[in-house]
Structure 1
Amino acid sequence: MKYYEVLFILKPTLTEEEVSTKLEFVKEILSKNGAKIQTIVPMGTRKLAYKIKKYERGTYFVIYFKAPTSLIAELERVLRITEEVIRFLIVKYENKKEISAWEKLSQGIKQSKKEIKPIEAPEIQ
């Protein structure tokens, strides 16, 4: 079982009932294909960085889960053909440091600034 995170954005025109139905749909896809859902983080409706399919806002959700790699292709296929999903991103956590971060994020613990190391740009002369 590998560690994953899926972030997806739903159309802002959906009602609360339709949003919860779509969330249940995604959870069902995950559980039917052998995933163990750790946490679901509803992030609410937010302004998008740029217009996507004529929408300026979207309803965000993040799901942290463990799953076999075969599930990812199916999840991607289903999210791609679901009309209510305007964008999605699947992230795989591989090394020990990333898995440690996944465990903290899935428990709602924010990383401290000491753990986040900025990338230093080379000096220009």
Structure 2
Amino acid sequence: MRKYEIMAIISPDVDERQLQPLVDKYTGKIAQEGGTVDNVDIWGRRRLAYPINKKAEGLYVVIDTTCEPAVVNEVDRLMTIDELFMRTKVMRRDA
């Protein structure tokens, strides 16, 4: 198992109350596949450096996880398909 950091920018159209269930959906997928979610850090609404999909703001979420590479690839793929996610970035953390 390896440590990963997943940073996601979620559409500002998502309400603050809808954000936690959305994050729980993907952290649950990691736990279901045998990984562990070490930390979830919700940064909240931030201004973007440049517009993405004609939007100047986004909701930032950082998920620290320990799981197999296939699991993090699948979660990244699912986030990319979800229209509420504007951008995702997966980084492998050094132990």
* 1:15-65 CA distance string (max 9 Å, x none): 122212211111112111221111111111100111001110000010111
TM-score by length of 2: 0.93
**What CA distance in whole angstroms lies between the structure 2 residues aligned with 1:76 and 1:10?**
13
Please report how far the alpha carbon of residue 72 of structure 1 lies from its aligned counterpart in structure 2 after TM superposition.
2.1
Secondary structure of the structure 2 residue equivalent to 1:90: strand
SS for the counterpart of 1:12 is: coil
Which segments of 5 or more consecutive residues in structure 2 lack a partner in the other structure? none
Which position in structure 2 is the counterpart of 1:38? 38
Which structure has the larger Rg over C-alpha atoms? 1
Identify the residue that residue 83 of structure 2 maps to in structure 1.
Answer: 83
2:30/2:72 contact within 8 Å kept: no
Query: 2:39, 2:92 → 1: CA distance?
Result: 15
More strand by share: 2
* Secondary structure of 2:27 counterpart: helix
TM-score (norm 1): 0.72
Indicate the residue corresponding to 1:47 in structure 2.
47
Partners of 2:92 and 2:19 lie apart in 1 by 25
Q: Hey, what's the Cα distance between the residues in 1 that align with 2:64 and 2:73?
A: 17
Query: Unaligned stretches of 5+ in structure 1?
Result: 100-125
Aligned letter for 2:17? E
The residue number in structure 1 matching 2:68 is 68
Report matched runs for 1:1-125 at 5 Å.
Answer: 1-93=1-93, 98-99=94-95
Q: Counterparts of 2:29 and 2:86 in 1: how far apart (Å)?
A: 18
| Higher RCO structure (Cα 8 Å, ≥6 apart) | 2
The runs of at least 4 aligned residues of structure 1 exceeding 4 Å deviation read: none
**Equivalents in 1 of 2:40, 2:15: separation in Å?**
19
